[in-house]
Chains A and B, each alone.
Chain A
Amino acid sequence: MAIGPRLRGRPAHTPGPTFLSYTPNGRKLITVGLNNAMRIFETGSDAEPITIDDVQDAHTAIAAANGFFVVGSEDGTVCKYSLETNSLDGLLVRSTLPIRDIALSPDGIWAAVASDELVVKIVNTHDMERVMYLREQPKPAKHVSFDPSGSYIAVSCTDGVVYVYSLSSEEPELIKKVHGLVRALESDAEASSRVVWHPDGRAFAAPTATRDIQVMSKSDWERQRTFSSGHSREITALAWSLNGALLATAGADRNIVLWDTKTQTIIKRFDQNSVRATILDMQWHPTENLLSYTNNDGELYLHTDIVPPEHASLLEMSLQGAPLIHDPLKEISGNAGRMIASGLMRSGDISGKRFGTPDSLDEILGNDGNSESGLDFIEDDDGAGYVEEANGNGKRTSGHLGNGIAPPPKRPNYNNDWRSPIHMHESFQPGSTPWRGSRRYLCLNLTGFVWTVDQTTHHTITVEFYDQDRFRDFHFTDPFLYDKASLNEHGTLFSCPASVQHPCTIYYRPHETWTTRVDWRVELPAEEEATSIALSSSYVVATTSKGYVRVYSLFGVPLQIFRQKSSPAIACAAWRDYVLTIGNGPLKAGRRTCLQYSIENVKRDQTCQDCDTIPLVSNASLVNVFFSDSGDPCIYDTDGVLLVLQHWRTMGQAKWVPLLDTKQMARLQSGRKKELHWPVAVAREKFHCIILKGGETEPYFPRPLLSEFDFHVPVATLAPSTDDEEEAQVGTEVQRLEESFVRKELLLTLMTDLVHSTNATHAQTVELARAEVDVDKTLLQLIAAECREGEERGMKALEIVGLMKDRTGRMLEAASKIATRFQRDVLREKIDALAERRLVGLEEVEET
């Protein structure tokens, strides 16, 4: 090897553990070791290093900023040295036990100090009296590391748990304990359990007990990619290159391994021949192809051109994304959860921001008021808006122009003008969740649930049922990488996107047959992708990227194919012979498309509703669409409202009626609970959903329990706060009855439509009659409540009597009895008169 002989260790200290740190601008490299000297090397010069002598010896940790560096030693002192005068600047903090690690925040203001004491101290480097304490660890910490934004700190504790704290608040707050990631190590062990944050800040890597390097994402604390089988003994040091494209690791097996972040493959390995002793600390030079490391024998190595020329371009790339399994920034998935708008995501950096010129003023002096990027010199600490927030592209927004109305563009708007994007609704598969870690639900409904696990080369799909007696759970290995599924009591439908080996395929697997299993596959034509699929008890439906709706029978016979009138398609649902498709319609105000749906009866080849609008409030979007168990289309939107389609069997008559507003439910009125509802189904006149707490937006594993809620039509607010308690009592009673009347009336019309349009069974007819009586009974209770209110409510009571459906006269008789009981004689006479008119059939004539 050519590099081998050239690479010469520089004896920096007496033999023993040695540590190093580069200043962020890469000009200087400082090493500390067993003896009482600190050596400062200038990058690019072979001159003898500057030596600072100190009274303490056995230094154990160092961290350097551009103007100073901080050194911790075994006797428990942490000292700050100036790089300008190369002399002691003062004592920063003193601990009773040896210091183990020091980390400086990216702005150099805070120094985190891990010692053999239980508490990790974070000291202000300018004012040593300002200290924050991290107290949650039950054992001493071994390593500390700040994330690239400086708002999180990860503490690797000797109990084998990583404690992640948020530093955004006044008092550091423990946000996550990561179990099972790193090994429990002694605080003076050579092996490392250090957490290193990927430079893009979304993930961190840590050495595991199996000598692999595990990447974990910060957003959901899921295990992501691993850098595996690189070392045969414990890992002692690891470092990301400054753009995150490379990872360097060193182990007790005296190997240095360079990994490509994107593919997690080894691009270069230096074995025992070139490494003389165990490497304890390593760091990349911020700009050059240079990795420096120190070993446990007092030596420093400056390994120039460590990345072989064929891979050197990796180092020159802009900031690379962390190796996440399903990167939300790269993956365009219709139902991907929206990124939380937080500055910590630093999505702006990933969008390819230019790096500064080398040796520019900003590079040397850091960011100041005249810098293009970074912190402005005005710190907007009270949010009064002295400084304008730059948006993701580093531009100021037009918010100052007022009311969000943009000035007229200088050029006329063409269709694909990028400055005024059209907000189209993404397609989604009803009942599925996006990837989280390596798992996702493909379908969740009242029959069961389908979930898939990413095994990198293939997926494994599991289908589980609620009814363990009727169905048998099954599980299979999936080389096609199915990404959509639909499940009902007859079978399971899957679809996979096109790949090199196969076009987009739809796969149906029936649960049970009386012959051998007849599962089938249909391949869509080339370049056509299924955007959503649906399964009913008699048909299979798929909407595709070419704007087609394809309908198959349950045995794979293609029955219909037609162009969807409103496309691109968003979702589809099916129930018995009915197929509901939703697509993007024409633009409406705010340059958003409006949603349009169509309902077809496939069997009779009838169109029930044609390109009718789904009324969504301005910024809301659709969360789920499904048929209820009695066959009425229901939608659930991001505002938390469940809507049902009424009179949808008659063309032009359909309207969306709210059944439940989950944000107005009584259980949330106290304001203490914060929860989201993830819709699953509407069945048995109840809304079935999964309650998500703690800011989650999608259900995850283990599968949460289903909750059910009664419908509550938002007629009035639930609990009006009146001072007079009795008044409020009566008021709510009337309101409750009114809501109950509206709700029962709605359910009655849904049921009437169903009974009249199908061959109703006897039970259904009886049920319908019972529901009618039920509505009238609610009205009777309402009359009683009104009568109790007082004489002056008689007119309202009479009107309510007029709403009664009953034609036999029994209900009117009862109403007149109520009036008698409350001694409202005038009302009673009027009710009796109404009853008589109805009896002889005069009422209808009068109405017309």
Chain B
Amino acid sequence: MALPLPPGLTPSEMAFLCEMELVTVIPRQRLEGLELLGGPTQPLNPPFPAPLPLWLALLLKRQRRANIRTPPWLRPDSLAAILEFETDTAKEAFSPPPNLPPPTTTSLHVDQTTAYLPATATTLELSPPFLQNSTTSAPPDALPYHWLELSQLLLAAAPDDFEDPDSVRRLLRDLREVRMAKLRKGIEVLDAGAGIKMNGVGGMEIAESRAFIGGVVDGLRYVPSMRSMELWGGGGGGSLCGTE
């Protein structure tokens, strides 16, 4: 037996991945640019805001060397608007994720003079850690992929940077419950070969429900095969209850 972990990512692994996200910090002291594996950071110069990876921002925040600007979607009014959309407008579906920026070319070192030309080479779709979905320039009306982890981390480490941390907590909890309920409801319609649309579901939500949904789907796949076995005249119909 290899690793005793379930397939997919565990919640703690999701939280770890989330720390790659860029957030905006307002430094309280100077810091030269750092050459990190993920690329160089901007030199910090108070009071100019700068984007930093979340793990570095949290480190500086704990040392009281910086303040974190909460992304626009984590403000109480934006969260309330999203929650209203989830409960009233979007019925079954989830609120959509932020729009992707137009794809860029893969080759990073394009000839300076031809950069104006529309890309003809293979294009690259950016994915979460490289999208600025949690800086202050993020759209206020969409929850990004890492919304749950990021908000938990920020609320734990920097509650004083929020306008109203208590109402943010409450709204996040409401949002989480509404969306989990939708996920669970989606499972009811699951059948062999059927699917649920999971557009806009966050990473942590997937990680949390992966085991359960996976189990259900496996079980459903098992039922038809049991039926066929019964047709063949075999027994063991009761073992379904045993496995699930």
Which residues of A approach B to under 8 Å, CB–CB? 446, 465-470, 683-684, 705-706, 708, 773, 777, 780-781, 784, 810-811, 813-814, 817-818, 821
B49 with A708: CB separation less than 8 A: yes
Question: Digit string of B227-244 for contact with A (CB within 8 Å is 1, else 0)?
Answer: 000000000000000000
B28 with A469: CB separation less than 8 A: yes
Q: Which of A467, A706, A780, A810 has the most CB of B within 10 A?
A: A467
- Given the known interface contacts A781-B116, A784-B116, A818-B116, the answer about A467 and B28 at a Cβ–Cβ threshold of 8 Å is yes
A683 with B48: CB separation less than 8 A: yes
**Is B114 at the interface (CB under 8 A from chain A)?**
yes
Cα separation A773 to B115 with both chains bound (whole Å): 13
Q: Contact check: which of B47, B64, B112, B117 meets A821 at CB < 8 Å?
A: B117
Q: Contact check: which of B28, B112, B116, B117 meets A466 at CB < 8 Å?
A: B28
Give every chain B residue within 8 A of A821 (Cβ-Cβ).
117
The 6 closest A-B pairs by CB, nearest first: A469-B29, A466-B47, A466-B46, A814-B113, A467-B46, A468-B28
Give every chain A residue within 8 A of B179 (Cβ-Cβ).
none
- Within 27-42 of B, Cβ neighbours of A (below 8 Å) are at 28-30
Cα separation A510 to B118 with both chains bound (whole Å): 55
Give every chain A residue within 8 A of B48 (Cβ-Cβ).
683-684, 708
Given contacts A467-B46, A810-B113, 8 further A-B contacts (CB under 8 A): A466-B28, A467-B47, A468-B28, A468-B46, A468-B64, A780-B113, A817-B113, A818-B116
A777 with B30: CB separation less than 8 A: no
B116 with A470: CB separation less than 8 A: no
Q: Contact check: which of A470, A708, A810 meets B30 at CB < 8 Å?
A: A470
Number of cross-chain contacts by CB at 8 Å = 48
**Is B69 at the interface (CB under 8 A from chain A)?**
yes
Give every chain B residue within 8 A of A814 (Cβ-Cβ).
113-114
Residue pairs across A and B with Cβ atoms less than 8 A apart, 5 shown, are A468-B28, A468-B46, A469-B30, A780-B113, A784-B117
A706 with B47: CB separation less than 8 A: yes
Cα separation A236 to B99 with both chains bound (whole Å): 63
Give every chain A residue within 8 A of B29 (Cβ-Cβ).
467-470
CB-nearest residue of chain B to A784: B116
Cα separation A706 to B26 with both chains bound (whole Å): 10
For residue A30, give the distance in angstroms from its CB to the closest CB of chain B: 50
Give every chain B residue within 8 A of A810 (Cβ-Cβ).
113
Cα separation A810 to B115 with both chains bound (whole Å): 14
CB-nearest residue of chain A to B64: A468
Cα separation A462 to B28 with both chains bound (whole Å): 18
Give every chain A residue within 8 A of B69 (Cβ-Cβ).
705
Q: Contact check: which of A469, A683, A708, A780 meets B116 at CB < 8 Å?
A: A780
For residue B45, give the distance in angstroms from its CB to the closest CB of chain A: 8
CB-nearest residue of chain B to A708: B49
CB-nearest residue of chain A to B163: A705
Give every chain B residue within 8 A of A470 (Cβ-Cβ).
29-30
Give every chain B residue within 8 A of A708 (Cβ-Cβ).
48-49
Question: Digit string of B48-59 for contact with A (CB within 8 Å is 1, else 0)?
Answer: 110000000000
Cα separation A469 to B44 with both chains bound (whole Å): 12
For residue B124, give the distance in angstroms from its CB to the closest CB of chain A: 21
Give every chain A residue within 8 A of B115 (Cβ-Cβ).
777
A777 with B28: CB separation less than 8 A: no
For residue B151, give the distance in angstroms from its CB to the closest CB of chain A: 19
Cα separation A468 to B49 with both chains bound (whole Å): 15
CB-nearest residue of chain A to B161: A705
Give every chain B residue within 8 A of A706 (Cβ-Cβ).
47
Cα separation A684 to B114 with both chains bound (whole Å): 28
Q: Contact check: which of B30, B47, B112, B116 meets A446 at CB < 8 Å?
A: B47
For residue B165, give the distance in angstroms from its CB to the closest CB of chain A: 15
Cα separation A706 to B27 with both chains bound (whole Å): 13
Cα separation A817 to B116 with both chains bound (whole Å): 11
- Within 115-135 of B, Cβ neighbours of A (below 8 Å) are at 115-117
For residue B49, give the distance in angstroms from its CB to the closest CB of chain A: 7
Give every chain B residue within 8 A of A683 (Cβ-Cβ).
48
Cα separation A468 to B44 with both chains bound (whole Å): 13
For residue B78, give the distance in angstroms from its CB to the closest CB of chain A: 13
Give every chain B residue within 8 A of A446 (Cβ-Cβ).
47
Cα separation A297 to B164 with both chains bound (whole Å): 51
Cα separation A466 to B28 with both chains bound (whole Å): 6
Give every chain B residue within 8 A of A773 (Cβ-Cβ).
112
B116 with A777: CB separation less than 8 A: yes
Cα separation A706 to B65 with both chains bound (whole Å): 18
- Within 1-45 of B, Cβ neighbours of A (below 8 Å) are at 26, 28-30
For residue A173, give the distance in angstroms from its CB to the closest CB of chain B: 21
Q: Which of A465, A468, A470, A811 has the most CB of B within 10 A?
A: A468
For residue B132, give the distance in angstroms from its CB to the closest CB of chain A: 15
For residue A679, give the distance in angstroms from its CB to the closest CB of chain B: 15
Give every chain B residue within 8 A of A817 (Cβ-Cβ).
113-114
Cα separation A777 to B115 with both chains bound (whole Å): 9
Give every chain B residue within 8 A of A469 (Cβ-Cβ).
28-30, 65
Cα separation A466 to B49 with both chains bound (whole Å): 11
CB-nearest residue of chain A to B28: A468
Q: Which of B30, B48, B114 has the most CB of A within 10 A?
A: B48
CB-nearest residue of chain A to B69: A705
For residue B99, give the distance in angstroms from its CB to the closest CB of chain A: 16
Cα separation A817 to B117 with both chains bound (whole Å): 10
Cα separation A446 to B117 with both chains bound (whole Å): 40
For residue B104, give the distance in angstroms from its CB to the closest CB of chain A: 16
Q: Which of B112, B113, B114, B117 has the most CB of A within 10 A?
A: B113
Q: Which of B29, B30, B49 has the most CB of A within 10 A?
A: B29
Cα separation A467 to B66 with both chains bound (whole Å): 10
Give every chain A residue within 8 A of B46 (Cβ-Cβ).
465-468
Question: Digit string of B97-114 for contact with A (CB within 8 Å is 1, else 0)?
Answer: 000000000000000111
For residue B23, give the distance in angstroms from its CB to the closest CB of chain A: 15
Cα separation A818 to B46 with both chains bound (whole Å): 43
Cα separation A705 to B68 with both chains bound (whole Å): 12
CB-nearest residue of chain B to A783: B116
Give every chain B residue within 8 A of A468 (Cβ-Cβ).
28-29, 46, 64-65
- Within 73-87 of B, Cβ neighbours of A (below 8 Å) are at none
Cα separation A577 to B47 with both chains bound (whole Å): 25
Cα separation A684 to B42 with both chains bound (whole Å): 14
Q: Which of B48, B49, B112, B116 has the most CB of A within 10 A?
A: B116
- Within 186-206 of B, Cβ neighbours of A (below 8 Å) are at none
Question: Digit string of B135-150 for contact with A (CB within 8 Å is 1, else 0)?
Answer: 0000000000000000
Give every chain A residue within 8 A of B116 (Cβ-Cβ).
777, 780-781, 784, 818
CB-nearest residue of chain B to A782: B116
CB-nearest residue of chain B to A811: B113
Cα separation A629 to B64 with both chains bound (whole Å): 27
CB-nearest residue of chain B to A686: B48
Give every chain A residue within 8 A of B30 (Cβ-Cβ).
467, 469-470
Give every chain A residue within 8 A of B49 (Cβ-Cβ).
708
Cα separation A570 to B26 with both chains bound (whole Å): 34
Give every chain A residue within 8 A of B112 (Cβ-Cβ).
773, 777
Give every chain B residue within 8 A of A813 (Cβ-Cβ).
113
Cα separation A817 to B111 with both chains bound (whole Å): 13
CB-nearest residue of chain A to B111: A814
Give every chain B residue within 8 A of A818 (Cβ-Cβ).
116-117
For residue A690, give the distance in angstroms from its CB to the closest CB of chain B: 12
CB-nearest residue of chain A to B118: A784
Cα separation A798 to B117 with both chains bound (whole Å): 19
Cα separation A705 to B113 with both chains bound (whole Å): 40
CB-nearest residue of chain A to B31: A469
